[in-house]
């Protein structure tokens, strides 16, 4: 695994790597990290049937952490699981955010969105987030791939570890929801 973490001291690097190790799924990798892009891949077994995992995945307000919303409340999130559907957040007096737009759905197998998440939203970048569910050797495998690209001055190499950390947290939460009925 490769992380683009800018730290000044060896101790700070060690603390950061320890913190990431406690958060990341069994297989998490950030690659092709440059100022103008990166790829985050999260992959792990989920001890639930694919249908249960799909159901959990498409119930985004149940597993997405409120700490990574604009309103602070995951109940304000919605996901319309059809081509053109919105991953939106609405709250208060007309406040709204489009986190992503669904571009491909294969029910029970794959969901793809164009999504500039969090700090990427204000940058001239393009993010594609793909959730894939597959069976391998009688095991349910969940894989997330998030590809982000933009101009060299976007500084994406500095944002890559932050994005990976947030996605890894959400990955664990959806896996937990599928396995136990609770996101934690």
Q: What is the pLDDT of residues 51-106, one digit of tens each?
A: 999 999 999 999 999 999 999 999 999 999 999 999 999 999 999 999 999 999 99
| pLDDT band per the 50, 70, 90 thresholds, residue 184 | confident
pLDDT of residue 29: 87
Which ranges of 33-182 would DSSP assign to H, the alpha helix? Answer: 50-57, 60-63, 156-180
Task: Return the higher-pLDDT residue of 3 and 170.
Answer: 170
Average pLDDT over residues 146-151: 98
Given this model, what pLDDT does residue 1 score? 29
Q: Distance between CA 40 and CA 30 in Å, rounded? A: 4
Residues 130-144 have pLDDT tens digits of 999 999 999 999 999
Token readout for 184 is: 């934690």
Residue 90 three-state SS: strand
Q: What is the DSSP letter of 20?
A: H
> What CATH number has the domain spanning 10-180?
3.30.530.20
pLDDT recorded at residue 17: 39
The CA-atom distances, in angstroms, between 17 and each of 24, 63, 72, 98, 165 are 10, 25, 27, 32, 11
What pLDDT is stored for residue 25 in this prediction? 58
pLDDT in tens, 1-43: 222 333 233 323 323 333 444 445 567 788 999 999 999 999 9
């Amino acid at each position: 695994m490769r992380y683009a973490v800018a730290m000044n001291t060896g101790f700070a690097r060690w603390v950061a790597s320890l913190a990431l190790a406690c958060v990341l799924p069994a297989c998490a990798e950030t690659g092709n990290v440059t100022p103008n892009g990166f790829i985050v891949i999260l992959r792990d077994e989920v001890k639930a049937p694919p249908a249960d995992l799909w159901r959990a995945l498409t119930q985004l307000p149940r597993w997405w952490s409120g700490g990574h919303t604009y309103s602070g409340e995951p109940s304000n999130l919605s996901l319309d699981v059809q081509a053109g559907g919105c991953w939106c957040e609405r709250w208060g007096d007309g406040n709204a955010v489009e986190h992503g737009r669904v571009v491909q759905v294969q029910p029970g197998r794959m969901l793809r969105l164009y999504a500039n998440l969090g700090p990427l939203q204000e940058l001239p970048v393009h993010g594609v987030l793909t959730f894939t569910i597959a069976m391998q050797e009688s095991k349910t495998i969940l894989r997330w791939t998030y590809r982000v690209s933009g101009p060299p001055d976007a500084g994406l190499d500095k944002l890559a570890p932050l994005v990976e950390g947030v996605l890894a947290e959400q990955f664990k939460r959806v896996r937990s929801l599928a396995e136990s009925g609770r996101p934690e």
